[in-house]
Chain A
């Protein structure tokens, strides 16, 4: 696993944990049925508050990315069909940030389209 947290990021830490776990699921590092690290272990690994990990885990469970099993922690729930939707959603959020920056620098959508085509050649 390769989870990192950026203290300077405007994204709250628990959301960074959610993103990081989702990335692990997308990259196949965490597979359907795999156990998530215990709250205690992940808090120690990332040097973050156990409550922050718990908050992220609740959110992941609420979104259907994991399920709790009493006594043995949570397990990853990653049915193959959902991967694509998730992949798209993550790319979209990255793109939104990029687009906002580009527009604030004065680029038009046409400029951006041309740029992408040029890079793609």
Chain B
């Protein structure tokens, strides 16, 4: 059974001498939503750009599954360049001709109260993001790559954006891969989490599995050395210890209170742990 929309093997990519992607492996299935998290410079945006075809890898392969032809991969980024001097109508017409789209209605953009004759250079960041998304969705994408866009949208536009993504998943079985630093409203949307560090994935788990394997202990006492702690944080007299991978056996022989954690906090712990390792190296 192969439902993979994209399959990445041993992907490596360097900028001058710096290795940004260091032998990545992963695949994404139809209709799956995965989130990529990681500290700044971990390689997240580079990976999305490589998957979208903007960057060519030095090594490794990116195999597209059935239905994932290049024009079915939509890439939305905060560093998007649209044709600044064009009007919305001109850009939409061009896009529809380029991708042979016959049924673009521009509904999403119209809900913002902008007009077709408005020039792109006069749009706000959020309006641009929605315009870009609506053009990409008109391609009926099988894979949507969304690079850190949500944080710059106001709450109303963010809602529109998220609903449009859910719609694309539900209706077209699109796979969604987002890079996020902030979660908020999308906290419950990804089913899978990939944490990136130094150009590779240090975590690739379903949200459910990851939440099962992650616990927090808040204590004034030092943590027994037998506990697998990936990160610790000091809050005055107290220390927060982040335990991974957690197993029920870790409760034996101590009175530690292992607390379950929500996804954003889990990701913070992994990123914090990454910085800690970097400092010690």
Contacts and interface: CB of A to CB of B under 8 A. Distances in A.
Nearest to B190: A49
B33 interface: yes
B166 interface: yes
Interface in B162-219: 162-163, 166-167, 169-171, 185-191, 208, 211
Scoring A7, A8, A13, A49 by chain B CB atoms within 10 A of each residue's CB, the highest score goes to A49
A87 interface: no
Interface residues of B, number: 22
What secondary structure prevails in chain B residues at the interface with A? helix
Contacts of B189: 47-49
A19 to B, nearest CB: 15
Interface in A17-63: 39-40, 43-44, 46-52
Contacts of A5: 188
Question: Which of B167, B170, B208, B260 has the most chain A CB atoms inside 10 A of its CB?
Answer: B170
Contacts of B32: 51
A44 B163 contact: yes
A47 B171 contact: no
Contacts of A10: 211, 260
B31 interface: yes
Given A50-B170, A51-B32, A7 B163 contact: no
Interface in B16-50: 31-33
A12 B188 CA distance: 10
B143 to A, nearest CB: 16
B179 to A, nearest CB: 17
B188 A48 contact: yes
B101 interface: no
B82 interface: no
B114 interface: no
A43 B190 CA distance: 12
B263 A47 contact: no
Q: Which of B163, B188, B189, B208 has the most CB of A within 10 A?
A: B188
B152 interface: no
B31 A51 contact: yes
A44 B188 contact: no
Interface of A: 5, 7-8, 10, 12-13, 39-40, 43-44, 46-52
23 contacts: A5-B188, A7-B187, A7-B263, A8-B260, A8-B262, A10-B211, A10-B260, A12-B208, A13-B188, A43-B169, A44-B166, A44-B167, A47-B166, A47-B185, A49-B33, A49-B166, A49-B169, A49-B188, A49-B189, A50-B31, A51-B32, A51-B33, A51-B191
Given A47-B162, A47-B188, A50-B170, 13 more contacts: A10-B211, A10-B260, A13-B188, A40-B166, A40-B167, A40-B171, A43-B166, A48-B189, A49-B166, A49-B169, A50-B166, A51-B31, A52-B191
Q: Which 9 pairs across A and B sit closest by C-beta, in order of nearness? A: A40-B170, A50-B170, A48-B188, A10-B260, A8-B262, A43-B166, A50-B169, A44-B163, A7-B187
